[in-house]
Structure 1
Amino acid sequence: MSNVNTGQLLNFQDYSPEHNDRSARIDVEAVHTNQYSNSMSNPNYDYEEPKIAEETEAAPQSNHNFWTIEYYQKYFDVQTSDVVERIISSVLPQKVTPNYFDERIKGKPDLYGPIWISVTLIFTIAVSGNIASYLNNANKTVHWRYDFHIVSYAATAIFCYVWVVPLALWAALKWSTIANSQDEMETQEANTPTMMSLFCLYGYSLAIYVPVAILWTIQVYWLQWLFVIVAAFVSGAVLIFWLMPALRKSRYFPILIGCILGLHFLLAAGFMSYFFHSPGSGGITPLQPVITSTRAPV
């Protein structure tokens, strides 16, 4: 091993400025020259621009059949706050903006709220109807018993109203709205509510009947009819309020408004008359008199 002068290594070395500048210039020029010559000599060289990473990727669009369960999954993707907000707006429409239906419901209708409101109303009518029947026959000589058929009757009436009436209204709007030009046809398609949005709107319109069904147990004839008028008017007014832009473009604008209000009034009157005011005789069994024989034994 050779001897190394450590003192010489620890001392600063002086280099001339000419040597430093020339060495650095040679190195830089050599690097750039080599890169340029390699890129020009390679015929397959392609310049690639840097790609900007996308922040959000587009969600894949899935086309499912109308008869599959996956098709209806998007109609149950709703937050609890949205359901509560739509219930409040179905009773008090002044709490939201006039374009609330076009901005929040027609673009993203849901079936979660309407189904649960319908089911809640069915069991509320069944329980309250039997309570009203019991109160109506408490002082009579009859043997009262619970009528389980009210559940099936109420379910048939409610689900038929929620699904059949919106379907008929959707067909009426499609048939009665006439557009003369292509622009008006596009405007018609934008203003006409979809079938699912009508199902959603009619389902939420029944929310007011849940508390009213409890109040119908009060056995006061004029008060029961007052609840019928108030519930039908409020619920029907909400429907007309949301659907007014589409109804105005129909040739049968007054007829459609009358049908909406009339069917709502018939629904409320039917609930009160059949389930609360005049209960059926299915849950009432007259008491048979006990006949005692006074004949003396032979």
Structure 2
Amino acid sequence: MSNVNTGELLNFQDYSPSPEHNDRSARIDVEAVHTNQYTSSMSNSNYGFEEPKVIEEPTSPTQSNHNFWTIQYYQKYFDVKTSEVVERIISSVLPQKVSRNYFDERIKGKPDLYGPVWISVTLIFTIAVSGNIASYLQNTNNAVEWRYNFHIVSIAATAILCYVWLVPLALWAALKWTIAPDGQNEIETQASSSPTMMSLFCLYGYSLSIYIPVAILWTIQVSWLQWMFVLMAAFVSGAVLIFWLLSALRKSRYFIILVGCILGFHFLLATGFMLYFFHTPSNSVHTVIVSSTVKSA
């Protein structure tokens, strides 16, 4: 039996583990910690199967093609800003204030009926009120008792509505069938050159805006001044229409006839307004006085 040094046994010994042993023990300790945390969480929590919830995102309403006779069809023609309406009213009197291609870029692509409807309604009541004022001024020095004529409203409404709807419809048909095709596909050529029906309704509606101030000026009972306002309103309104439609009119086989018809109908409209609502011939005053004296006798 070998002798053992008791002094060495009582002293502390330093055992440095090998690198392989150190790495392996550290890895085992880390794995053990994660394993204990996972098992403890599994034992403490209650797990149940839940079906995944499908979150429905709000979808924008689809634009369906509505019928021509429904109200929903015309909603897009009233979706217009106030600035656009003001800009189109200015362009109907002063086209140089906007770009050269304003009709093709803004009106032809996005026509509206909001402005034309309000312009037509405003013009109807302006003519009715101004016409009665002119009638009152004409009969101030006469013995005949003056009365308000309510029939002017219906007559002015019929004339304006017929003009705003029938004349653009006739012009649209004339441009559609008289534009000469310059390419292989005749249908595509006519569709690109000819303005749409709604764009013509929009253009003609805005062209009547100049008659609103002119209707007020027609109350001035000076014959030559009234006729000057007739020529000015008809020329400005008709020239603006020709200016915007010039590219389509040039492609028509009847360019001169269409230009003459546009100016002619505007002149007839202005002349009809002035003669029927604002102008009274001088002979009518004497006729009314003579008839009243005969009835009294």
1:182 match: secondary structure: coil
SS at match of 1:144: coil
Partner Cα distance (2:216, 2:64) in 1 = 44
Q: Which runs of 5+ in 2 are unaligned?
A: 1-16, 32-58
Deviation, 1:178, is 2.4
Indicate if the aligned counterparts of 1:143 and 1:287 stay in contact, CA closer than 8 A.
no
* Moved >4 Å (runs of 4+): 14-18, 284-292
| 1:155 equivalent among 151, 154, 157 | 157
2:222 equivalent in structure 1: 220
Distance of 2:156 and 2:225 partners within structure 1: 22
The letter of the residue matching 2:156 is A
Separation (CA, whole Å) in 2 of partners of 1:291 and 1:276: 29
Residue identity opposite 1:215 in structure 2 = L
Q: Please identify, of 184-193 and 116-125, the stretch whose mean Cα deviation from structure 2 is larger.
A: 184-193
Per mean C-alpha deviation after superposition, the further-off stretch among 76-85 and 182-191 is 182-191
What is the percent sequence identity of the aligned residues? Answer: 73
Deviation track 1:14-58 (CA, whole Å, cap 9, x = no partner) reads 9958727x959xx9xxxxxxxxxxxxxxxxxxxxxxxxxxxxx88
Aligned to 1:166: 168
Structure 2 counterpart of 1:146, from 145, 148, 161: 148
Matches of residues 26-175 of structure 1 in structure 2 within 5 Å?
60-175=62-177
- When residues 181 and 218 of structure 1 are mapped into structure 2, their CA distance, relative to the original with a 3 A threshold, is same
Q: 1:267 aligns with which of 245, 266, 269?
A: 269
Alignment CA distance shift 1:291-1:193 (3 Å): closer
Residues 291 and 234 of structure 1: CA distance in aligned 2, closer, same or farther (over 3 Å)? closer
Q: Mark the runs of 5 or more structure 1 residues left unpaired by the alignment.
A: 1-13, 28-56, 293-298
Whether 1:176 aligns to 2:178 is: yes
Scaled by the length of structure 2, the TM-score of the pair is 0.76
Alignment of 1:237-276 (within 5 A): 237-276=239-278
User: What whole-Å deviation, never above 9, does each CA across 1:215-236 have from its counterpart, x for those lacking one?
Assistant: 0000000000000001100000
Deviations 1:54-84 (A, max 9, x none): xxx8862311001110000001111111111
Distance 1:166 1:291, change over 3 A: closer
Tell me whether 1:19 sits opposite 2:15 in the alignment: no
- Distance in 2, matches of 1:173 and 1:230, equals 26
Q: Contact conserved, 2:92 with 2:209, CA < 8 A, in 1? A: yes
Partner Cα separation in structure 1 for residue 94 and residue 235 of structure 2: 12
* Amino acid across the alignment from 1:126: A
Letter in 2 for 1:115: V
Give the number of the structure whose alpha-carbon radius of gyration is greater: 2
Matched, 1:234 2:236: yes
**How many matched pairs?**
248
Q: Which whole-Å CA distance do the structure 2 matches of 1:59 and 1:249 have between them? A: 40
